[in-house]
């Protein structure tokens, strides 16, 4: 596929990195030549320096032969203009835009007659929804949903003394109540995926991805984690777009305090919120945190636009007794470095957003994609199409499928029913199959397996 990515920031760079290994031809456009040069050194991509809203720049980037345009610059206006030009002047089949302002998220404005955006991504909303799930499951490192919420996958750290630690994976069934089933989709040990089977022993410190029907996931989590009490007292550092959205989302279920160092912004956000408290101050002020009972706070969320500030504030909150802390970190190198130390979760906004983009880029019929472990792994929800003649998977048991290197089928959703599959589970047309890929280089092979085969008759 010929893909044109406008914007070489965190989202654009992460998307290029995710797609470049999958036999795609990728061109990146940005006003700043420095990040383009850095990406060209690391990745097999073409780069063009210039304004992504200019027809001449788009033409230089090869838009006339593009199959997909992804506009993720820092400017909503540039992204919208680029999509409009891609449709009206260059007939690009698919156009995606990142839009930060809610004013533009109007279906009428995005219609073919206007800005011609096929899919609009709002990063702040995606991140806010993601953080809300982490508050709901305070023991989790990651929480993602499939099949419109019917299936939940949770990444947790196995702890010493857990029911399953030191035992084989197959022993999990011995602890689950009747009618409850689950799957350990993957285990990462010392940052590397291990080839797990029923005889694999779970070790303390393992990062384990558990998958189950949404109504069963809490029961299953008890296998590997001490269940923490739901977060009831929440403190948020930063009243920017993300912080304000999270506060608004959670103020009805938690006692929320927001700390913002800009008095005008604090006053503005306080007017948007009904129950949350907004105070003016620095989240790195030890006396302020102590005065706000940080030791009695269940979760501290550092959500400012400054990585270093977030790391310092979250680390301080943890030292002062907060039960669990999260820091929003744009630089992926920082996120990898801090998680597992005093900071429980280092969250990369780009990696949260990229799943939605990948959902619209993948070659097979993909309903959902989640980027996991900061891009090291991926989980896909694939929709099965065709019949036994046109599909390599329909009407076949899992044990009959070609080996999926670096990937495993974790769940099947059929007519709303969640099935934890075994070797003899039959795949049917219309199934939503959730596949966990621990090695991203094998994703293209997984997609190809689930794509219907066009027969000679269908070509006539």
Rounded Cα gap, residues 228 and 214, in angstroms: 18
What phi and psi, each to the nearest 5 degrees, are found at residue 397? -75, 155
pLDDT tens column, 432-447: 999 999 877 778 888 8
What phi and psi, each to the nearest 5 degrees, are found at residue 393? -120, -30
Among candidate residues 162, 136, 209, 132, the one with its CA nearest the CA of residue 376: 209
Rounded Cα gap, residues 353 and 123, in angstroms: 6
Confidence (pTM): 0.85
pLDDT band (50, 70, 90) for residue 116: very high
Residue 336 has what pLDDT? 66
What phi and psi, each to the nearest 5 degrees, are found at residue 71? -100, 105
Tokens of residue 416, six digits: 């709303």
pLDDT band (50, 70, 90) for residue 456: very low
Question: How high does pLDDT run on average in the chain?
Answer: 90
- Helical (H) or strand (E) element with 259: strand 255-260
- Helical (H) or strand (E) element with 414: strand 407-414
Rounded Cα gap, residues 146 and 411, in angstroms: 10
Rounded Cα gap, residues 301 and 134, in angstroms: 11
pLDDT tens column, 38-53: 999 999 999 999 999 9
Among candidate residues 66, 71, 86, the one with its CA nearest the CA of residue 2: 66
Residue 132 has what pLDDT? 92
Section 139-144 average pLDDT: 89
Residue 341 has what pLDDT? 76
Residue 360 has what pLDDT? 81
- pLDDT of residue 175 exceeding 60: yes
Tokens of residue 115, six digits: 């800005």
Rounded Cα gap, residues 352 and 128, in angstroms: 10
Rounded Cα gap, residues 398 and 359, in angstroms: 24
pLDDT tens column, 241-258: 999 999 999 999 999 999
pLDDT tens column, 359-370: 887 766 888 988
**Domains, the chain, with CATH or none:** 2-121 (3.40.50.720), 233-351 (3.40.50.720), 358-450 (3.30.70.1450)
Strands in 277-280's sheet, in edge-to-edge order, are 277-280, 255-260, 233-237, 299-302, 324-328, 345-347
- In the chain, % of residues over pLDDT 90: 64
Residue 460 has what pLDDT? 36
- In the chain, % of residues over pLDDT 70: 95
pLDDT tens column, 367-395: 898 888 766 788 999 999 999 999 999 99
- pLDDT of residue 37 exceeding 80: yes
pLDDT tens column, 193-214: 888 888 999 998 899 999 999 9
pLDDT tens column, 267-316: 999 999 999 999 999 999 999 999 999 999 999 999 999 999 999 999 99
């Amino acid at each position: 596929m010929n893909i044109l990515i406008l914007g070489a920031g965190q989202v654009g760079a992460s998307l290029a990195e995710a797609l470049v290994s999958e036999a795609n031809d990728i061109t990146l456009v940005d006003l700043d030549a420095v990040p383009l040069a850095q990406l060209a050194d690391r990745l097999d991509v073409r780069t063009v320096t210039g304004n992504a809203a200019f027809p001449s720049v788009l033409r230089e980037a090869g838009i006339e032969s593009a199959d997909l345009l992804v506009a993720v610059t820092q400017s909503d206006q540039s992204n919208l203009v680029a999509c409009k030009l891609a449709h009206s002047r260059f007939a690009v089949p698919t156009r995606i835009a990142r839009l930060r302002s809610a004013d533009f998220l109007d279906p009428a404005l995005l219609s073919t007659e206007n800005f011609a955006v096929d899919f609009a991504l709002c990063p702040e909303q995606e991140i806010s929804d993601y953080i809300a799930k982490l508050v709901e499951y305070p023991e989790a490192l990651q929480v993602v949903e499939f099949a419109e919420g019917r299936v939940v996958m949770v990444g947790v750290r196995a702890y010493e003394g857990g029911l399953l630690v030191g035992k084989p994976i197959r022993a999990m069934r011995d602890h689950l109540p009747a009618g409850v089933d689950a799957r350990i989709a993957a285990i990462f040990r010392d940052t590397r995926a291990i080839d797990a089977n029923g005889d694999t022993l779970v070790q303390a410190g393992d990062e384990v991805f558990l998958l189950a029907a949404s109504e069963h996931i809490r029961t299953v989590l008890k296998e590997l984690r001490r269940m923490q009490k739901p977060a009831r007292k929440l403190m948020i550092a930063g009243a920017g777009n993300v912080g304000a959205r999270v506060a608004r989302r959670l103020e009805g279920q938690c006692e929320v305090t927001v700390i913002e160092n800009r008095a005008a912004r604090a006053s503005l956000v306080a007017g948007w919120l009904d129950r949350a408290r907004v105070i003016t101050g620095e989240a790195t002020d030890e006396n302020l945190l102590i005065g706000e009972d940080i030791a009695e706070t269940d979760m501290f969320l550092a959500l400012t636009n400054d990585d270093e500030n977030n790391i310092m504030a979250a680390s301080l909150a943890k030292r002062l007794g907060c039960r669990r802390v999260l820091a929003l970190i744009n630089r992926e190198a920082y996120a990898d470095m801090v998680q597992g130390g005093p900071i429980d979760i280092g969250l990369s906004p780009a990696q949260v957003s990229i799943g939605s983009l990948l959902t619209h880029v993948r070659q097979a019929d993909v309903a959902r994609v989640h980027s996991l472990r900061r891009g090291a792994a991926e989980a896909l929800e694939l929709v099965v199409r065709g019949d036994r003649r046109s599909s390599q998977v329909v009407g076949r048991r899992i044990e009959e499928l070609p080996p999926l290197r670096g990937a495993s089928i974790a769940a099947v959703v059929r007519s709303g029913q969640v099935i934890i599959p075994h070797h003899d589970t039959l795949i049917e047309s219309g199934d939503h199959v959730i596949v966990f890929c621990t090695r991203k280089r094998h994703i293209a092979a997984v997609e190809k397996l689930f794509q219907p085969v066009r027969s000679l008759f269908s070509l006539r």
